[in-house]
Structure 1
């Protein structure tokens, strides 16, 4: 599989991210794979990919909050258009998942544990936005809420 990194106008990025989220999946450069593979291997599968300047992986998470009744429906809401406004989980039920998705958010979000976030930051992996705002992507892009970029 070949992946490309381009903006909305089709112009290719000069720098390829170490790690990048795309609809609940992660692109991992070889560097990011080496750093994160041991944490993520139980949570999903790694699919080899090629891109303009090298090889990497797409991480496809195979763990879902619903499989352990982990979605907190009192905290999870959708608007009248069925767009996700907020997303919440029963932490004690999803704690064993290092990275997971939820059918409630149409599998579009990748949720991770603090340990994964810390490993990304410690190894200075660039390209992913980690936020505590779950579900509402427009709110997550508020720079005051960034944890890592």
Structure 2
């Protein structure tokens, strides 16, 4: 079995969460839009947040100018209604689904709450950081993760990345969902230059 890091396919639109949306709907002191820590929000999530979709870099064009089924940002996954219908049952034990809206549709942000270190799943023998604390190599002991884990985060990565098992990768690929790709180098925050490389 191989664990994977989830990356965005930049041929599709990327989502951003407007700061005023967070302040208005979650409170002035909430940092959901920039804080990737594994904090549960479902109790305070009273109405859907509005997401802005567009190219990841301002001024750039996307090959497919459309909203993807899946998108990763700030340690969380956006799921379209299509992705939610395909993946909800598989993911529900690993976190929470937070309703969102965007121009022309609705979906969810999946907030992963399964953390590798909470289950002693960080492989200390291969996980290393440079002198600035930047992750150089990341190892996870998959057999230490809870049974049926599909998606998780890692404190060693400052909770920025979203990682997954082969079972999740297969579920996404079997459903033909768009917007993300997978890379086996867990410490590689940039992925490949193109999803076509995989």
Fold-level similarity (TM above 0.5):
yes
Q: Using a 3 Å threshold, how does the CA distance of structure 1 residues 71 and 130 change in structure 2: closer, same or farther?
A: same
Q: Using a 3 Å threshold, how does the CA distance of structure 1 residues 30 and 115 change in structure 2: closer, same or farther?
A: same
Residues 2-81 of structure 1 correspond to what in structure 2 (within 5 A)? 2-7=50-55, 8-9=57-58, 14-81=65-132
Cα distance in 2 between the residues matched to 1:42 and 1:20: 20
Cα distance in 2 between the residues matched to 1:10 and 1:129: 23
Q: Which has the larger radius of gyration?
A: 2
Instruction: Decide which moves more: 70-79 or 52-61.
Output: 70-79
Cα distance in 1 between the residues matched to 2:109 and 2:195: 29
Cα distance in 2 between the residues matched to 1:2 and 1:41: 22
**How high is the TM-score relative to the length of structure 2?**
0.68
Contact 1:95–1:113, Cα closer than 8 Å, also in 2? no
| Structure 1 match to 2:169 | 117
Alignment partner of 2:180 out of 123, 128, 145? 128
| Structure 2 match to 1:106 | 158
Q: Which runs of 5+ in 1 are unaligned?
A: none
User: 1:84 aligned to 2:135?
Assistant: yes
**How far did 1:107 drift?**
0.4
Cα distance in 2 between the residues matched to 1:26 and 1:144: 18
Match of 2:52, SS state, is coil
Higher relative contact order (CA 8 A, sep 6+): 2
**How far did 1:80 drift?**
1.8
Q: Which runs of 5+ in 2 are unaligned?
A: 1-48
Contact 2:161–2:189, Cα closer than 8 Å, also in 1? no
Residues 132-147 of structure 1 correspond to what in structure 2 (within 5 A)? 132-138=184-190, 140-143=191-194, 147=198
Cα distance in 1 between the residues matched to 2:126 and 2:92: 29
